[in-house]
Structure 1
């Protein structure tokens, strides 16, 4: 799990058929210029990119390690600027070239602590000073089904509590909110909210969204 690309087979297979649902809160972006340079990291099939374009953002690009999801996005939105990320988390961009980076339901697909830190470090590198990082991801769920699978996976594999395997072959992670805040400790917090989402496997669950500013 230390390799961000270790689940590429899943995302080029079963994962490429999933529907993603985390919503953008346009109120959080009301003060962001519509010409801002925007990157959707882990863009999947471009759903969030299309939503941002619909809100008037004119310079939106997206990257994802899954060539199957990128191909799906190109079919659904031929005008979207989508590229396959070949060596995650490394981006083929100079430093400080984006004003806004979105990371929607990506950390849940990166269960390893070191890999998460490497990803956030890379996103900080490409954000301009004062730029915004918008994170949407899953928090620890308190129902019996989730508690049991967190505990089982931690006991079997020694993973952090909150990591679990799905029935169709993905390894995912739900997060302690304090851990997410610590992961973003090099940023200044702007907004935070809890939301209900439908997961890619059709369950209603609680997620958190955080907006943070690069120093």
Structure 2
């Protein structure tokens, strides 16, 4: 049976996948260190990579569809390389990708985020602006923010480490169009690979909240 390992992006824990997980035959949402119920644990990017790898190995999962959203595309992309033949497919949901030797900030103007982290004791606080205009109601945004966790800044500034090319990893990239129609440059550079495919969703950056059933359907189709 295909195992779906679901990792949400900044500020979120496993709870973010609740509605998607209901629609999947075998879903294993994972919270990264420093977030949600693991908020007291020390966290950096390498720790997040190990969170994913260690959970898959601990449960001895095979035929894994490894799903990373937003920030988590960076550690999940590295984990996909490390789990070897346990991986069936990597799925990146409007996500960043790891670039060897570069951190999460690679390829975009991150001065404002870096300043927020410095002003908030090393953490990136969630803000309503990040969720506005993304097909989410004010009530839904308030509910998300009530459960969100300030994101550990170290995970954003540590460099990624890859031994091979992510272009060789079987990958589906899901682009959420309300967050911009074109993939970011590091993703665009990988999409021509025959191992990669692009799927578009006409929704915002948080499809696990705005279109959970549609996202789950796409994940099931990917696993077929």
Same fold (TM over 0.5): no
Higher strand share: 1
Structure 2 length normalisation: TM-score? 0.41
More helix by share: 2
> TM-score, normalised on structure 1?
0.42
Higher relative contact order (CA closer than 8 Å, sequence separation 6+): 2
